[in-house]
Amino acid sequence: MNNQSQQEEQKQKQSKYNKQKLQDNEAEENRLLHSDCETIPLSSPHSLPSISNNANAEEEDAVYAAKDKVHIFDLESATGSTVVPPFSWKKLWLFTGPGLLMSVAFLDPGNLEGDLQAGAVAGYSLLWLLMWSTIMGLLIQLLSARLGVATGRHLAELCREEYSNWARLVLWLLAELALIAADIQEVIGSAIALKILSNGFLPIWVGVIITASDCFFFLFLENYGVRKLEGVFAVFIGTMAFSFAWMFFDTNPSEEELLMGLLIPRVSSKTLRQAVEIVGCVITPHNVFLHSALVQSRDIDIHNKSQVQEAINYYSIESSVALLITLVINLFVITVFARVFYGTEQAKDIGLVNAGQYLEEKYGGGLFPILYIWGIGLLAAGQSSTITGTYAGQFITEGFLNLNIKKWLRALITRSCAIVPTMIVAIVFNTSEGSLDTLNEWLNVLQAIQIPFALIPLLTLVSKEEVMGTFRIGPVVERVSWTISVLVIMIYGYLLLDFFLSEVNGVLFGFLVCLCSAAWITFIAYLVKHSGAVSSMLARSPSSKGFFSLAGN
């Protein structure tokens, strides 16, 4: 009876998704034309301009209107073709962009703070963990991109269809909290950089306002084309690479210790917390939602299997290269602070706020002081991650709530959701360096709470044939992905446990923490049960061709 009910449920969901796909395909062509033709006689000389103007207005309100997408494939491509054309450097260049925007989350100010603390406290010993964490993060992001390409919809939209109303609202609220937490870190990171570069003239709260204003300016560039905005991100990442590479070669770290740190796994009881933070910084919840939407900036026919597979292949390459660059940049930061502060009295006290000052005391002066090099890199990291945070906010809010409002209003609402609390915390916590570090710890906790509720829905959807069709992941990749997700959730769980054990004071606070922990575990159990992952992995045989294969079963 259970098998029969599961089959009926799958048939219903398959029918639901088929109807949705048909609606999506016909919407651009028929919806506007049908509504306008009912009210405007075709004989009217103004009929066609009216229809065109309304269509253009609707296109402008979409996140990625048809006219804004990057065109890659020939219009005469055979719809039923399953043959993937040979590799093309030109096509790889056209697909390059979404991976750059996604990779910025691996370089945000929260990550940089985790890097510098890992280097100062653990030296070179955790470089191997940084490398393997980046590889795990790459797999998660490839799954997110695969979901967006194969379905033509992003993760938040699909969650709205997959889960019941109460679960969908809980997922949305948790995603918004995690996004706000990440945004506060990013905006305050930019504000700290502006304070450094202005030699203390600009206070934190002024830097917050400037960063928020800058964000709208850079988003305005999208009106001139998606590729222009992607070019801006390439400049940001290049600036970070140049700044931190300068610091790396200026401090002259030990090549032998660096190589040993990458190849030899080492973790001690004294560096366990830094190890957990490195893993936690790499996989962020809002980035999982973001990447599935960014890949839709390319014009792909989701009914053409060869186009979908080709897009997945190119996105896999460009995302891998982008995360390789982030790995090198993060490695630069860890090794610089390992070289300068490991084994010193300042190692335990160093944070994002005072890092530049400590660097200046060690390596100040010269043609271009290291303090300002650090400030430039931090500003590029904060500003770029703030823009992608705004993007993620738009996709999350629109996807879960099915909002149909103008793009500028959508950006204003999602930006205000982050800027208002950021302004409040900037004023309240801008009293000492220690208070900002405490704030950062609590923000990390908020993001740690959310990560299961991004990973589990992602893995649930990419494993379902009624959602992905022939592009669902195979059993081997499914098992590996769930293993990595369980490992990441356990690491975050340890981080939460360690944090609350050190912070809980009083019976009432302890009771609230226990109550919230029970609710957290219960909701995770509900999502896992809903996914059917355990029964699915037991039932499916490992005969898949793998992640890059056209068919997933």
Which of these, 543, 551, 532, 553, lies nearest to 3 by C-alpha position? Answer: 532
pLDDT tens for each residue of 438-451: 677 677 777 778 88
Fold annotation for 89-433: Hydantoin permease (1.10.4160)
DSSP states along 215-229: HHHHHHGGGG-HHHH
412 pLDDT above the threshold of 50: yes
d(CA 112, CA 126): 14
| 299 DSSP assignment | E
Rg of the chain's alpha carbons, rounded to an integer?
24
The two tokens of residue 452 are 């299961």
52 pLDDT above the threshold of 70: no
Average pLDDT over residues 80-109: 86
150 pLDDT above the threshold of 90: yes
Task: For the chain, give the mean pLDDT.
Answer: 78
pLDDT tens for each residue of 474-525: 888 888 989 988 888 887 777 777 777 776 677 777 788 888 888 888 999 9
Average pLDDT over residues 280-308: 87
pTM: 0.81
d(CA 53, CA 323): 41
H-only helix segments in 402-474: 407-429, 433-450, 452-462, 465-468
Q: Three-class SS of residue 70?
A: strand
Amino acid at 546: G
Average pLDDT over residues 208-214: 77
Q: Three-class SS of residue 386?
A: helix
DSSP element (H, E) containing 384 = helix 370-401
- Residue 165: is it exposed, middle or buried by C-beta count within 10 angstroms (0-12/13-18/19+)? exposed
d(CA 235, CA 31): 40
Long-range CB contacts (within 8 A, 24+) of 271-276 = 271/118, 271/121, 271/122, 271/125, 271/126, 273/495, 273/498, 274/114, 274/117, 274/118, 274/121, 274/122, 274/126, 275/118, 275/122, 275/126, 275/129, 276/491, 276/494, 276/495, 276/498
Neighbouring C-alpha atoms within 13 Å toward the C-beta of 84: 15
Q: Are 489 and 451 in contact (CB under 8 A)?
A: yes
